[in-house]
Structure formats: C-alpha cells, structure tokens
Amino acid sequence: MASMADKNSPTDKKRVLIIGGDGYCGWATSLYLSNRGWDVAILDNLCRRAFDDELGLSTLTPIKTIHQRIKTWKEVSGKDIPLYIGDVNDYDFLTSCFQEFKPDHVVHFGEQRSAPYSMVDRKHGIFTQANNVLGNINVLYAIQEHAPECHLIKLGTMGEYGTPNIDIEEGFIEIEHKGRKDRLPYPKQGNSWYHLSKIHDSHNIHFATKAWGLACTDLNQGVVYGVMTDETAMHPDLINRLDYDGVFGTALNRFCVQAALGYPLTKYGKGGQTRGFLDIRDTVRCIEIACAQPAEQGEMRVFNQITEFWSVNQLCDLVQEAGGRLGLDVEIKSVPNPRVEAEEHYYNVVHSNLLELGLEPHLLGDSILDSVLGFAMQYKDTADLKQIAPAVKWTEFSKKKVAVEV
Amino acid sequence: MASMADKNSPTDKKRVLIIGGDGYCGWATSLYLSNRGWDVAILDNLCRRAFDDELGLSTLTPIKTIHQRIKTWKEVSGKDIPLYIGDVNDYDFLTSCFQEFKPDHVVHFGEQRSAPYSMVDRKHGIFTQANNVLGNINVLYAIQEHAPECHLIKLGTMGEYGTPNIDIEEGFIEIEHKGRKDRLPYPKQGNSWYHLSKIHDSHNIHFATKAWGLACTDLNQGVVYGVMTDETAMHPDLINRLDYDGVFGTALNRFCVQAALGYPLTKYGKGGQTRGFLDIRDTVRCIEIACAQPAEQGEMRVFNQITEFWSVNQLCDLVQEAGGRLGLDVEIKSVPNPRVEAEEHYYNVVHSNLLELGLEPHLLGDSILDSVLGFAMQYKDTADLKQIAPAVKWTEFSKKKVAVEV
Ligand SMILES: NC(=O)c1ccc[n+]([C@@H]2O[C@H](COP(=O)([O-])OP(=O)(O)OC[C@H]3O[C@@H](n4cnc5c(N)ncnc54)[C@H](O)[C@@H]3O)[C@@H](O)[C@H]2O)c1
Ligand SMILES: NC(=O)c1ccc[n+]([C@@H]2O[C@H](COP(=O)([O-])OP(=O)(O)OC[C@H]3O[C@@H](n4cnc5c(N)ncnc54)[C@H](O)[C@@H]3O)[C@@H](O)[C@H]2O)c1
C-alpha cells in the first residue's frame, strides 16, 4: 500500500482499465497498480501470444496463461483483476467492458508493437496500422460515448520523433518563423509502419481532445528493459515475458540474452543509433504518476517517458562489461543493418515532465544489467539461437524468411 | 494537343493511372490529360456514387454512368480510356491493374474526401481512415513491387496544416531551435477524421520515399470550385458533378447553388474561417505539371495547390455581388457552426512551387462566379433544398440525422 504522503498513490478515481494487460509492459503495470491499491481490470485479445505462434517464437521465461496469472495473483495478494478477453476493434465488446467496469482511467498498451513485425510484408504492415490506428479510434469513441470524464493514458513511442538534428521536446515545440510564433505539435518522422501507426494515433488523439474535450496523456516511451518487478517476483506463475528474438526482442534485453548464451551481440550497422531507455520498474511507476495526476479535460499532455539515452555501441560495451563480471566472454559483432535508419546522428531529448511529477528513475547500473543477465542465464537452456538473427529486412517482403526454421 | 514549346506537355513517360477518376477532380483530370495526349486509365470503385445513395443526396448536374462517360469520350475525341472498377484496398485487383496498364504515373484521388461524412458517426470515421490510409499503403506497395519507377502523385489537403499562427510552408519547414537547425515535416493538425487520414497518408508516404526510394509528389490541395473544363463541356454526357449538399458540397460551389435557388448563403459561425481555393481548371493543370516535371526517386515533394485564399465572409460577399449582377437577391445567414474550428485566425500560405513550374492561375473573378452560378441556375429545378442544411455535428453521432428526409 502507498503511504499517505506519496502524491502518486491511488486517488478516488481509482478504476484503471489496462488494455494490453497480458503484454510485457501491461502485465507488470497491472500487478503494480493492483498491489498499490488501484482497482485494475485487464482487457486483451492475446494476439501477442498468437504472433509468437505464427512465427515460431517464444519468450525466454516460461509465462503462464492469463487466466492462471490472474488466479495466482488473487492467491498471492487477495486482489481480483477482472479479465475481458477481446479486441478493441470490436466496438460492441469494448462498449460492454466500459459499461461494466466504468473506468476512471484507460491505459492503452494494446497495440502491435514491433517495428520488424510491421515490416514483414504488406499484410503485416496493413494489419499493424489497422489494428493500432482503428483500435485507438474505437477507444476514443468509447470514452466519448460511455465515459467522457475517463482519462486516457496512451502509449506512444520515442520513435515517433525520428532522429531530427534539433533537440526533441515533449510533444510540442515553440516555433518562431518569419516574425511570428506558435506552439505546435513536434514534427514527426516514423521509420516503420509500426512507428507511423503511433504518429497517427497521436494526431487522432490531439483532435479528440480538441473536438470532444477528452483528457489524454500521451506517453512517448523509450525502449523498456528489465524483466523483474516486485510483484512479478512474488510467485513463479507471475513471471513476465522476456523477448529475445529478432522480431520482438528490443535492443538491451536481446543483448543480455545473447551474452548469457555465449552468442555475439549483434549490433546493426555502425551502432551509432542512439535511443532513449527506461527500466520496466519505471514504466509501471510512470503509469501510476499519470493516473494520480491526470490530464485536464480537453488537454493533450505529452511526456517523453525515458530516463537515459544510449547508443547501440554504448549498450554493447555495458553488456560486455557486466557479462565479464559474471564470467562471460562477450563478443560484439556488427551485422548489416536490416532497417533503413541513420546510424550516426544527433540525439538530445527533453524528458523533465515525469521527473517534475515525482518519477525517481532506476538508472541503468550493474544491478539491472546483472538482473536481466541473471534471468537470461537462469533460463538459457530453453533458448533457441535461431530466433536471435535479425529476421526482417525493411526492403524485402517475405513472411517465409521471417518464420523460424525448425 | 500541346504545343512543342510547352514544358508541361506529355513526355515519353506518358501512361497515367487516375485512381478516383470517376470523381469530381478525377473525371476532369482524366479527360484533360487524355485530350492533351497522355495515355490515361481510370481506376475507381464508384463508392462516391454509393455515398449519395446512402444519404439520399445527389449532384445538381445530371452525370452519366462511368461507362457512358468513357464511351462518349471515345466518340468525341477518338481516345480510349481503359476502365478498372474496383477498390484499392483489394490488393490482388490493384496488382492486376498495375501489371496490365504499367503506369508511369499514378494520380491518387481515390479517397473518401468529405470531412462531414467522416464525422457522421464512429463507423464513418473508421471507414474513412481505413479506406484512405490502408488504401494508400496498398498503392505504395503496388508501386514498390510492380512499378518502382512509377511516380506517385497523391492528393492531400491544405486542411492538414490546420490554422497555425505562423506562415504555412510547402510541406517542410526550416526550424531553428536552441542553436541548431533542421528542415522537418511541417507540424500537422487535422480537424476531422478525414483531414487526419490525409495527415497519416503524408507521413506514410514520406517513409516510403525514404525506405524504398519511391518518387512522390504530395499535392496539398485547397478547396476546388467550378464545374466546367474544356473537355467536360464537349458533350452533355461528359458533364461533371456539382455537389451542393451539406455533406459533400464545398464552400464556394455550395454558396453558388444556394444563391441560384434563392436560398440564403449559410455561413458557419462568424465566417472568419479562411481557406485556400483554386479553380478546377487549375487542378487539372497542376496534375499535368506534376506528371511533366516529376519528383526524383527517393524524393517527397510537397506543393500547396491553391491560387488564392478567402475567408467565408469574403466568399459570401463575392457571391452576393455576382448574384446581384445576374438579378439574384442573395441573402447571407449565419448558422451555428457544426464543426469545431477557429472562426477567426491568422492564415498565410506559401504556394510558389507550382507557379515556378509554370502554373498560370485562373483567378476567382466574375467569369468563374458567373459560370458556376450559371450552371446552378440552369439546373436549379432539379435541386432539393433539404440537402443544403449543415447535416453533421462534430460532437454528435447519428446517421439518422444526416440522411435527407423524403
Ligand atoms: N516494450 C517496449 O520497449 C516499448 C517501448 C515503447 C513503447 N511501447 C508501447 O507500449 C505498449 C506495450 O508494449 P509491450 O512491449 O508491452 O507490447 P506487448 O506486445 O508485450 O503487449 C501488448 C498487448 O496488447 C495486446 N493487444 C494488441 N492488439 C490488441 C487489440 N487490438 N485488442 C486487444 N489487445 C491487443 C497484445 O495481445 C499484448 O498482450 C505498446 O503500445 C508499445 O508500442 C513499448
Ligand atoms: N474537391 C475538393 O475541393 C478537394 C480539396 C482538397 C483535396 N481534395 C482531394 O482530391 C481528391 C479527389 O477529390 P474529389 O472532390 O474529386 O472527390 P470525389 O469523392 O468526387 O472523388 C473521389 C473518387 O475516388 C473514388 N474512391 C474513393 N475510395 C476509393 C477506393 N477505396 N478505391 C477506389 N476508388 C475510390 C470515389 O468513388 C470517387 O469517384 C480526394 O483525395 C480529395 O481529398 C479535394
């Protein structure tokens, strides 16, 4: 339970619907908020598990079914998490969830979130934009029609900004041009159908806040790393997923698994690509901060949800060093970059909003590296090396080449 | 036929596929280009005609079926226009058109283009973004897979920019920020699901030019007015559509019909809303200029396709005056604005790119006003006053209220 003095603890608007609550960020967040005293419900269509089936991939950690997870959480914590299995693109279903659960906040994690998956071929690109953009419009209508005071907390991505040659601000930028001034949405440049879907979401949400007065917090999240949170550690059934494959594995998590397996760290191209990162223990806290100190009606608030930035080369060095301390001999190998992206660029990101609201970051230190590496070493016997290679080229469309060979 | 000295006449890349060629801009463009010596084909799924059926609306002018139109054009001009009836969202169909016609240029007009239609209710909003955004992704894949050198000419809208307090540049803006500089996509703010769909298209196209090296011209077109072009005047069967209803009728065309009918001009709210406009005879010419002087591979060129800007109040005054000269007593009435938009704002638009390439604008003078008014008076007996009222509120979702009562 949160202490009374903590301004980021449950308010009387405490009903939180977590869309995508069976996923990596969503599961950790659901348990964290539930444990802190918020009333949590999960909505998920479990498509993330289906993507693994489709491509022959799997999480390194042995995750349980969502039903088992929720049952065990009830046993461990005494708390109920109502479960709604279905698609946000099914509006009748979404409506019935809103009418039954009556959320004060909707945290919308429920999108196809892999850039490589969106680039597999035309069908996967179309699926990603349809699933994400149309699903998010449904969420906007559901709020407007059934819960106009409900606060939307939407997950965007730092990748919406691309890598401009000027500092990246939080969602909006003050522009002086030909002697006049305005505060305008920050220019967006996406590098995959996935990143573009998030750009479209942001524009659509901005409109809904203006046209309908909805309250929205748009979290442009960086790359999340780590696998342990206090709650998921309470019981083996509650363990979170750890993706290490070339399609869903994100940079740092994937490197840690590669190191544990004695596989060279595969950096794409020159490795100068720089991105913002954060610990999953900060992801869950950021969501709580957004719930406890919500946006106003009619406001579109944008936070850059990162705590540090690193280049791929820096990450590789960090993992190599931490691996060394655990007795691992970690090699670094450059492979041809399957993506179309700048490999050397300026990168400086403003991310003060969440800090001002009370975020106390877990910085990337030995402890977290050790913990991800430790997890990876614990489960390394179940790993499948064939899943690690970069599987999707941005300029080639072939699902056959992506599915893992058996 | 074009004279040899005209740099904007057919080149040896002269095969032009007009997607949306049965629509208002597309039909005029198809005949104009065909007449000028380009090899034109039309692709259209005729959904625009279905929207009229759905809502009980109709064009003021008696348009013929697309089959009759093309047959008559062959009789009048001796020229063939191959016709492909189908949806760009049907990729197999789109592929077969590309393989058969082998376009050098694709002019993509084929989207749901009414802001009010997109705001009718959730289903119409979802339809608009799905039809437009996913259809455009299909066009990008079709070019990349079947005609990588084909030049895409995409219709965007000036409405993508919203009404910022700084000058509107052509697609990109040079930003100086904290001592650094970059040329970035101009910030976008859409005011309906329709306008937003065009914003999404622009971001998606920008990516495709970078990732795949496609050549694209994005035309941010203003509001088109007028109904006569040289070619559509050649035979009654070739007449173009003139929409005057509250859903598809655009400002100036609608005002002219209202004036001809002795109906007060319905301006929304204060009437300070300012927009860019152009004559349909310039629309067709702009497309030819884009074909004759195409974008480079890998280039995303953006032109603001307008020739003048006017506030709604100025338009009303112009129509009132021109009506007076034709003996019409034109009243102006302010009605509550069904849209959510700024009614008084700064508006200054850069639109020099097309002029530099050779566009010689038809400015809004007596002649054009007389011609639209003249058309309206000629057909006024077929008009249905019930179609004129603003039918869609931005904050209310009801298809029942939109369909015209009989
Ligand atoms: N993991 C990261 O590093 C990261 C970084 C930046 C942003 N994000 C964003 O955070 C969110 C969560 O990411 P994640 O890593 O937990 O992804 P994830 O794939 O593990 O979780 C997403 C969940 O949403 C569900 N879902 C997807 N589409 C749905 C639909 N139409 N209806 C209902 N449920 C649906 C999936 O089944 C899955 O359980 C995503 O929106 C992602 O874009 C993640
Ligand atoms: N009319 C204007 O004032 C104006 C202003 C700015 C931009 N534009 C843009 O110019 C383009 C043409 O506008 P218009 O006024 O001629 O519209 P229109 O509705 O008269 O024509 C569009 C045509 O595209 C077809 N179409 C729509 N979706 C399709 C699909 N999925 N597959 C195949 N065909 C499809 C329709 O049947 C229709 O014939 C649109 O993209 C519009 O957004 C028009």
Tokens, residue A104 = 């004060």
User: A294 CA to middle of ligand 2, Å?
Assistant: 40
**Could you tell me what percent of chain A has a pLDDT over 90?**
90
For an interface test with A, give the residue of B118, B163, B166 to mutate (most A CBs within 10 A). B166
Looking at residue A149, its pLDDT comes to 98
Q: Is the CB of B89 under 6 A from ligand 2?
A: yes
What is each CA distance from B168 to A227, B158, B160, in whole angstroms?
46, 9, 11
**Ligand number nearest to the C-alpha of B69:** 2
Q: Which helix (H) or strand (E) holds A98?
A: helix A91-101
DSSP-derived 3-state class of residue A105: strand
**Could you tell me what percent of chain B has a pLDDT over 90?**
90
Looking at residue B365, its pLDDT comes to 83
Looking at residue B121, its pLDDT comes to 97
What is the C-alpha to C-alpha distance for residues B265 and B315, in angstroms, rounded to an integer? 10
Tell me if A63 sits within 8 A of A129, measured CB to CB.
no
Place B2 in a pLDDT band, splitting at 50, 70 and 90: very low
pLDDT tens for B77-109 read 999 999 999 999 999 999 999 999 999 999 999
Handedness of CA B308, B310, B314, B316 (dihedral sign): positive
What is each CA distance from B288 to A125, B28, B55, B93, in whole angstroms?
32, 12, 34, 26
Q: Give the number of the atom of ligand 1 that is nearest the alpha carbon of residue A305.
A: 6
* CA–CA min distance B144, chain A (Å): 9
* CA–CA min distance A37, chain B (Å): 35
Looking at residue A1, its pLDDT comes to 46
**Could you tell me what percent of chain B has a pLDDT over 70?**
98
Rounded to an integer, the average pLDDT of A187-192 is 98
Residues of B in contact with A397 (CB under 8 A): 141, 145
Decide which of B398 and B19 is more confident. B19
pLDDT tens for A30-43 read 999 999 999 999 99
Q: What are the strands of the beta sheet with A300-305, ordered from one edge?
A: A83-85, A39-44, A15-19, A105-108, A151-157, A215-221, A300-305
pLDDT tens for B102-116 read 999 999 999 999 999
Place A406 in a pLDDT band, splitting at 50, 70 and 90: low
What is the C-alpha to C-alpha distance for residues A222 and B349, in angstroms, rounded to an integer? 36
Closest CA to A171 of A365, A351, A398: A351
Place A2 in a pLDDT band, splitting at 50, 70 and 90: very low
Looking at residue A360, its pLDDT comes to 97
Q: In this structure, which residue's CA is closest to atom 36 in ligand 1?
A: A48
Tell me if B257 sits within 8 A of B3, measured CB to CB.
no
Looking at residue A90, its pLDDT comes to 98
**Ligand number nearest to the C-alpha of A43:** 1
Rounded to an integer, the average pLDDT of A224-238 is 97
Closest CA to B252 of B281, B224, B212, B230: B224
Q: Give the number of the atom of ligand 2 that is nearest the alpha carbon of residue B22.
A: 39
Catalytic residue among B154, B198, B267, B393: B198
* CA–CA min distance A173, chain B (Å): 9
Looking at residue B406, its pLDDT comes to 62
The label of the residue with tokens 């069908």 reads A123
Looking at residue A385, its pLDDT comes to 82
Amino acid at B172: F
Tell me if A195 sits within 8 A of A128, measured CB to CB.
no
Interface contact flag, A129 B137, Cβ < 8 Å:
yes
Chain mean pLDDT for chain B:
95
What is the C-alpha to C-alpha distance for residues A302 and A305, in angstroms, rounded to an integer? 9
* Chain mean position to CA A305: 10
Rounded to an integer, the average pLDDT of A328-340 is 95
Of A138, A187, A204, the CB nearest to B184: A187
Rounded to an integer, the average pLDDT of A87-112 is 98
How many CA atoms are closer than 13 Å to the CA of A65, on its beta-carbon side?
5
Rounded to an integer, the average pLDDT of B9-36 is 98
Chain mean pLDDT for chain A:
95
Nearest CA in chain A to B184: A187
The label of the residue with tokens 């979130």 reads A113
DSSP-derived 3-state class of residue A38: coil
Residues listed for chain A:
406
Looking at residue B369, its pLDDT comes to 82
State chain A's maximal CA–CA distance in angstroms: 64
**Ligand number nearest to the C-alpha of A86:** 1
Nearest CA in chain A to B338: A211
Q: Which helix (H) or strand (E) holds B152?
A: strand B151-157
pLDDT tens for A163-183 read 999 999 999 999 999 999 999
Amino acid at B282: D
Residue B309 has pLDDT above 90, yes or no: yes
What is the C-alpha to C-alpha distance for residues A330 and A382, in angstroms, rounded to an integer? 20
pLDDT tens for A142-154 read 999 999 999 999 9
Residue B293 has pLDDT above 80, yes or no: yes
pLDDT tens for A46-70 read 999 999 999 999 999 999 999 999 9
pLDDT tens for B166-211 read 999 999 999 999 999 999 999 999 999 999 999 999 999 999 999 9
Residue B370 has pLDDT above 60, yes or no: yes
Phi, psi of B331 (to 5 degrees): -100, 150
Residue A4 has pLDDT above 60, yes or no: no
Q: Give the number of the atom of ligand 2 that is nearest the alpha carbon of residue B194.
A: 43
DSSP state of B349: B
